[in-house]
Each structure stands twice: as C-alpha cells, then as structure tokens.
C-alpha cells in the first residue's frame, strides 16, 4: 500500500514538474517574442517612404529617413518596441489613469492628479497645434501604434498585469510632457503656501530671516549679483528661552529635502571657443532626476532632409515624445537645468458671505465649477472624484485661516504647453536659439546653448507669466492682480557671449535684480553646487571633453567643509568619552570628499542635517502649532539663516531644551553617532557607501519581489552627494551625462544608467550601467552599425 502511494506521489510530482517546465518554456518563448525588431524588412501603414533604423552594439538607433515626419514615425516605432510600458505610465500619471492599469494601489495618486484635468488640457493643446508640429506629432503616434502592431507579443509587463496596451494618440504625447511639469514643478503650491503661513503667523523679522534671497557665502550667479542675509531677530521679537523642549522625533522635518539635500535638478555649463583648442564652444549637461529602470531617457540619432537641407541630430529623447530633448544638431548643442523660478501662484478666493460657492473676480461674481472625474480601477469599481475649478485653476482646499486656495499654474494653460522644441533641431544661429527658447512650452529650464562658431548663451526656456504683483505668497486676485499674459522673448532674461567666456547653472539663482523678479523664486537651490562648478571652470583656461567630464564627476565636499570644521571644534571642546573620541577620529580623517569608504563624511553630513532640522524646529514651532500643514522643509535655502545663528549664537534663539548653543551642538553630535551605531559597538563600517548604495528599480519589481533580481539594476555604493557636481543618491542622480562641441560630436562623451531597452531579456537592458556608475567615458555618438531594420510604406 505504502509503495503504491509513493509511486502515485512520484508520478504526480513528475506531472507537476513537467507542467511547470512547459509553462516556463512557454513563458520564455512568449517573452522572447516581445523583444524589439532590430533587423530585416517590415512593411507598415502610415509611412511616407522607406526608413532605416541602424543600431549599434549598444542598441542605440540611428534613424535615417527622407523627411522629418518619417523620422518621427520611426522614432515612435522604436520607442514603442523598446519602452512602451514606460510611455504608458508617463501618459497615465498626469492624466490620473494609473489605476486603470495598476489597480487600487494608485487610486489616491490618481485623485491628486485628476484635480488638474490634464486630459482636457492635452485635448486643447492638440486642437491648437498646426503646421509642422502637428504633422510630426501625428506621424510619431502612427509610428508608436505600428511598433505595437509589429511586435510578435505585447510587452511583458502587460502579461504580468493581465492587460493589453492601449493605442497612442497625439494627446498622449502632451500628457507625457505634462508629467514632466509634475516632476519638475510644485503642482500643489506647497512652497508658496508655506511662505504665506510663515508671514501670516510669525513675526515679520523672523519670516524675512528664514526666507533669504541668497547667501553671500554660496551665491554664484553668472551676473555676479549677491544678496545679504537678513538680520537675526532680536529678543523682543522672538525669545525661545521660555519654551519647553521641542517634541522629539519629528522625522517629517529631518528627512525633508531642506535638511537631507535631495534636490531634483541638474548641472549644465558651457565654455566659449576661446577656451577650447578647436574654436567651437563646448557644452556639458547632466540632468538629475529620479533613477529607474528603464532610464527616463532614450538615446537616438536622427537624419533626414528638408527643403534640400540635410539634418543630423544626436542626443536623448523622452519615450512618448518625438523631439531630441537635449543634444546637438551640429550647429548648436543645448542642455537644461531646472530653473526653480515661480511659474504657479496660489490665489485666495473672496467668497460671497451668502453663498460659499460664489467668489469675486475682476469680472464680477462667479460660481465654483464642479466636474466629475471617473477613475477606472483594474479589478475594482470605478471611483468618482469631484474636482472643483475656478477661472484661475483647481481648488486646493483651505489654508490655516480657513481661506479657500486655488492654483494658477502655467501647466493648465494651453498657451504655455507645446512642442515648439521641435524647431530647435533646425536652428543654426545662437540668437535664434535664444529667441526660440521662451516660446517653447516645457517645464521651465535654464537653457544653455553652445555654438560651433564659439559663442555661448543662457536664457530661460518656457513661457514666463507677466505679473502685476509678486507671486511669493498667496493673495487675492479679485481686483485684477493676476497674470497679464506672457513675457515676450526679448523681455526674457538672457546672457549672451559673457565676457568670462563661461556660463554655469545648477538650479540656483542665475541672475539678480529685475531679471530675478521676472523669473521669481519657487525654491531655487543654494549656490554651492553652482559655485563649485564656476570655480572649476575659472581655474582652467583650456578645456577638452575629458576636462568637462572631470568636473561632472567632482565629489569634493566643499559645502560640508565648514560643517566638518565646526564638528571637529565641538568634539575637541566637549568632554572626552570613548564615543566622542571615535567620532572625532573619523571626522578628522573624513577625506574631504563624498567617498564611498568615508565614515567621517557620513557623520558630518548627518550632523548638519540634525542641526538644521532642530534649529528650524525651534524657530517655527509656533507656526506649526497654528498651521499643522506647514512644513519648514518647504522654506528654501536654510544654510544662510542657520550659519548666521551658529556664528552669533544668540542666547534668545538657542533651540528649546538646551542651556546654550554649545550644549545643543554636542547633543547633535552625540545623537548623530547614536543613530549611526544603531546598537553596534563601533562606527566602523557605517561609511557613506553604505548609505549611498543605489536602488534603481523597475516599477513592477516591488509588486513582484521574486522578479527584482531580474528587473532591477544591481546595488552599487557610489560616491557623490547633493552639494557637489557629482550628484548621487540611492534613487536620484545623473539620469545622463553628456559633453559635446557642436560640429565635433565624434569627440563627445556620454553616460546613461541602465540601458536602451526596457526588456530584461535584451542585451541592452543594462549594458551602459557600469560605465555610468564608474564614470568611464563612452562616446556621445552611436558606434558602428551592427543591425539594420528597414521600414517600408505599405502601398
């Protein structure tokens, strides 16, 4: 009997094993079928003439077509085959349609974005398009759909989600662009609301002290303007000595970017032809964004003819859009950093006392509009979100005083959202590029351009609102104080052919005075990173591409050096204990860089974050008690105020709970070490690399953990940090690096994390990752062709 049972179980196990093997083989075969086409001939609908897609050894396509429209078609085709799931997520994010694909886990995220009604914005933008731009966008959409149709199997993510891809429309490319507005700008008016609460609830002198325009120590504007730190409030304005100790463990403040330094941004700079050995200007650009798999960018080269002119473009594209985002057209090379100017205002509604749905406008009383947005949920019932809308934009809710706030944001206006960037690819003159930039409807960027004849320039790309009053804090617009159209290109701040022969931007203030007033301040970065870049550029006279890359990879800790010196003095003056002796030994040997092996760097950085958070906790506690939604982390650039206090050490502003500044600082040193030890006997091993190991993941790996080793990039401990050119964090950093002189693209350099393909079975899923991580130079242009796919029009 027992033997028969065992035999039966053995046969059952064999059958189950065989079934599992068959399923695995079928899954493997199906996954292989969803790999992109890279060679042969394909006849497709919607193409005007034959196009060759020539791929090099890393899968980078060179698209050679007869017209720009056919090149756009082929770009859509390769985007769809390599990256469609990424494109789908990008369009669904701004539209608030993720739950239709991903289920209930994203409903709240969809709710938050539905208030912007971006699907309606995209429809209006496409209706307003005409001419060449619309033709290119329509050709791109046809190419995307042809790429989906020609794939033997749908992208693998849709098998895991038990879903099917939805066809692409021109409106979807606009939604991809709008997702970048969300990524790069403040879609909820948080920073402006925080400033408003501070000025409403704190003494004016304290509010001014905590919102400096700049920092004399760290300013690095290219026009050399500086601003002084407002004075420390006197004891008759604010005295913290009578307050009890602040509540401990306010992690929401300590982990906020204002103390941690994680900052969505970028670096770019250029040197003119007098500082290169070939006479062409040279551009460097590394855009700092969230790191993911696949990479946000997709490398491509485009070639076509137009009215007898041959065009050649190289750079990166954004899957979902047909344009070269940054790159070179052989006459000019261009790159971006996020400008952090003020492109949205919080408006306070003046409500009718007799009817809370009516509000006063310059044109009389109007009623708040209610619009029902239906959110489809995979595997669940639809969710209805009621969006309230005013003539200025969506209702955000009430502030600390019960006033209704709405958001006026450029991203809601079809006049400020467009694909005019497509015209940059045909620009051959420097002034023409500067004039075009303010007409481009993208999230506002510091646009730096280098010309093959040796000239360089900076301006702001994106449409800037013309303001009647400053947009620094919420106010009513009922009396007509809103925006009055847009600045003209000739009114937009610009620097052309600077005398120094150098331009640099790094998300900090670029200009001052009237130009700064036009751009505004929505939390631009401290100038430390820009200053370090400026100093590197001014220290040399002649540059080649490798010199520029060396600046991109610079991890010297100049910004934290004063903090290292302060922590050293604090520990030397404190009572000697084994713990403090250990801290001091590491801090003294910190190395002055954000190096993987440095324990001292991590201690200094953590000490700074603790000090900044605790100082701001004490200074803003009364504001937070009256406005629970207020987050001091939304106040920009705390370095100036904190250092003013550390140098003066006013007794009346000692953080609550401490007898003096000395006691406060040694307490922060001790608590920093205690947190890092976390029960260990020693700080050895708690180095920066442990903290700064990459976590570059696929969107689905968290939901399907057993696939993470297959889908995600390997964890790597990397050097770099926020306040230096080599920006690096576990999930944030250089999404690309490029160095190029227009007309000399064959000498250019390029890095990108992960690889070209979004398919984990492709050899190009991560084949550029090690070079990016190690900073090893790779060519800007694609290499020799290894495979060619020819797309033919169906006749």
Instruction: Round to whole Å and give the CA distance between 339 and 324.
Output: 20
Helix ranges (H only) for 574-679 are 578-588, 599-626, 639-648, 661-677
Rounded to two decimals, the pTM is: 0.94
Q: How far is CA 110 from CA 115, 383, 575, in A?
A: 9, 10, 54
Q: Name the token pair of 675.
A: 């947190």
Helix 68-95 / helix 118-128 crossing angle, nearest 10 deg? 160
Residues of the chain falling short of pLDDT 70: 1-29, 244-264
Helix spans in 34-169 (H): 68-95, 99-102, 107-114, 118-128, 131-150, 156-160
Instruction: Provide CB contacts within 8 A for 188, sequence distance 6+.
Output: 112, 396, 407
Q: CA neighbours within 13 Å on the CB side: how many for 778?
A: 23
CB neighbour list of residue 438: distance below 8 Å, 6 or more residues apart? 459, 460, 461, 462, 463, 464, 487, 488, 489, 492
Confidence (pLDDT) at 245: 56
Chain mean position to CA 699:
17
Residues facing 543 on adjacent strands: 276
Structure tokens at 393: 């934009």
What is the rounded distance in angstroms from the CA atom of residue 683 to the CA atom of residue 343?
Answer: 45
Query: Residue 234, CB half-sphere, CA atoms under 13 Å: how many?
Result: 1
Instruction: Report how far residue 195's alpha carbon sits from residue 203's, in angstroms, rounded to the nearest whole number.
Output: 13
pLDDT 10s digits, 548-562: 999 999 999 999 999
Provide the pLDDT for residue 253.
Answer: 46
Distance, CA of 674 to CA of 676 (rounded, Å): 5
CA nearest to 718, candidates 776, 777, 774: 774
Cα dist. 237→205, 229, 240, 749, 764 in Å?
A: 8, 17, 10, 55, 62
Site of tokens 């250089």: 734
The CA radius of gyration of the chain, in Å to the nearest whole number, is: 28
Give all strands of the β-sheet with 364-367 in edge-to-edge order.
351-352, 355-361, 364-367
pLDDT of res. 718: 98
Q: Are 793 and 51 in contact (CB under 8 A)?
A: no
According to DSSP, residue 94 is labeled H
* Confidence at residue 457, expressed as pLDDT on a 0 to 100 scale: 98
pLDDT of residue 215: 87
pLDDT value of residue 702: 87
- Residue 634: its pLDDT value, please? 93
3-state secondary structure 445-461: EEEEEEECCCCEEEEEE
CA distance 744 to 738: 13
Structure confidence at residue 575 (pLDDT): 83
pLDDT of residue 243: 75
pLDDT at residue 714, rounded to an integer: 96
Among 113, 101, 242, which residue's Cα sits nearest to residue 181?
113
Closest CA to 476 of 360, 394, 393, 344: 360
């Amino acid at each position: 009997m027992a033997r028969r049972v065992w035999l039966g179980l053995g046969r059952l196990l064999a059958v189950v094993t065989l079934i599992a093997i068959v399923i695995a083989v079928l899954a493997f075969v199906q996954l292989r079928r969803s790999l992109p086409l890279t060679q042969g001939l394909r006849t497709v609908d919607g193409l005007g003439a034959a196009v060759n897609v020539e791929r090099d050894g890393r899968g980078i396509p060179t698209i050679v077509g007869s017209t720009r429209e056919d090149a756009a078609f082929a770009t859509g085709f390769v985007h769809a085959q390599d990256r469609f799931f990424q494109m789908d997520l990008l369009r669904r994010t701004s539209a608030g349609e993720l739950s239709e694909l991903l289920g209930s886990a994203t409903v709240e995220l969809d709710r938050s974005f539905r208030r912007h009604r971006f699907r309606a914005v995209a429809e209006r933008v496409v209706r307003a398009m005409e001419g060449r731009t619309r033709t290119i966008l329509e050709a791109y959409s046809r190419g995307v759909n042809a790429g989906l149709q020609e794939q033997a199997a749908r992208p693998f993510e849709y098998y895991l989600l038990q879903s099917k891809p939805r066809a692409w429309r021109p409106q979807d490319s606009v939604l991809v662009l709008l997702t970048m507005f969300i990524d790069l700008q403040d879609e909820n008016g948080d920073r402006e609301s925080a400033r408003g609460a501070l000025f409403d609830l704190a003494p004016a002198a304290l509010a001014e002290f905590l919102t400096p325009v700049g920092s004399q120590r760290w300013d690095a504007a290219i026009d050399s303007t500086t601003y002084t730190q407002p004075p420390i409030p006197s004891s008759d304005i604010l005295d913290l000595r009578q307050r009890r100790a602040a509540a401990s463990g306010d992690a929401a403040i300590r982990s906020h970017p204002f103390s941690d330094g994680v900052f969505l941004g970028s670096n770019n700079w250029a040197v003119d032809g007098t500082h290169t050995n070939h006479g062409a200007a040279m551009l460097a650009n590394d855009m700092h964004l969230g790191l993911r798999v696949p990479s946000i960018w997709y490398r491509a080269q485009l070639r076509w003819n137009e009215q007898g002119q041959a065009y050649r473009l190289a750079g990166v594209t954004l899957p979902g859009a047909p344009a070269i985002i940054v790159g070179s057209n052989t006459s000019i090379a261009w790159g971006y950093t996020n400008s952090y100017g003020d492109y949205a205002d919080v408006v306070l509604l003046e409500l009718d006392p007799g009817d809370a749905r009516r509000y006063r406008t310059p044109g009389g009383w109007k009623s708040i509009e209610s619009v029902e947005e239906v959110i489809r949920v995979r595997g669940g019932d639809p969710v209805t979100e009621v969006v309230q809308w005013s003539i200025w934009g969506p209702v955000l809710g009430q502030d600390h005083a019960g006033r209704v706030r709405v958001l006026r944001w450029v991203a809601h206006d079809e006049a400020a959202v467009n694909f005019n960037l497509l015209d940059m690819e045909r620009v051959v003159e420097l002034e023409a590029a500067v004039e075009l930039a303010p007409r481009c409807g993208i999230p506002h960027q510091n646009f730096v351009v280098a010309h093959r004849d040796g000239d360089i320039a900076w301006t702001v790309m994106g449409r800037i609102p013309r303001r009647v009053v400053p947009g620094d804090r919420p106010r009513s617009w009922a009396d007509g104080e809103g925006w009055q159209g847009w600045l003209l290109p000739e009114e937009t701040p610009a620097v052309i052919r600077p005398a120094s022969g150098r331009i640099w931007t790094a998300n900090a203030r670029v200009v001052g005075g009237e130009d700064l007033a036009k751009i505004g301040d929505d939390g631009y970065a401290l100038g430390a990173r820009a200053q370090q870049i400026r100093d590197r550029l001014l220290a040399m006279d002649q540059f080649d591409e490798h010199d520029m890359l060396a600046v991109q990879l610079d991890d010297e800790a100049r910004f934290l050096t004063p903090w290292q010196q302060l922590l050293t003095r604090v520990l030397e003056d404190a009572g000697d204990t084994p713990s403090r002796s250990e801290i001091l030994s590491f801090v003294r040997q910190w190395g002055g860089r954000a190096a993987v092996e440095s324990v001292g760097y991590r201690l200094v950085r953590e000490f700074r974050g603790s000090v900044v958070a605790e100082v701001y906790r004490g200074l803003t506690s009364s504001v937070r008690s009256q406005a629970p939604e207020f987050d001091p982390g939304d106040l920009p650039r705390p370095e100036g105020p904190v250092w003013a206090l550390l140098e003066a050490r006013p007794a009346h502003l000692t953080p609550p709970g401490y007898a003096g500044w000395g006691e406060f600082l040694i307490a922060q040193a001790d608590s920093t070490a205690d947190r890092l030890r976390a029960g260990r006997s020693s700080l050895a091993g708690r180095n920066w690399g442990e903290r700064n190991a990459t976590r570059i993941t696929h969107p689905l790996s968290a939901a399907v953990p057993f696939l993470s080793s297959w889908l995600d990039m390997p964890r790597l401990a990397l050097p770099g940090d926020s306040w230096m050119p080599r920006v690096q964090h576990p999930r944030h950093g250089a999404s690309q690096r490029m160095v190029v002189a227009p007309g000399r693209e064959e000498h250019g350099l390029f890095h990108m994390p992960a690889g070209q393909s979004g398919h984990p079975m492709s050899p190009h899923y991560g084949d550029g990752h090690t070079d990016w991580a190690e900073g090893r130079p790779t060519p800007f242009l694609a290499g020799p062709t290894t495979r060619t796919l020819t797309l033919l029009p169906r006749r």
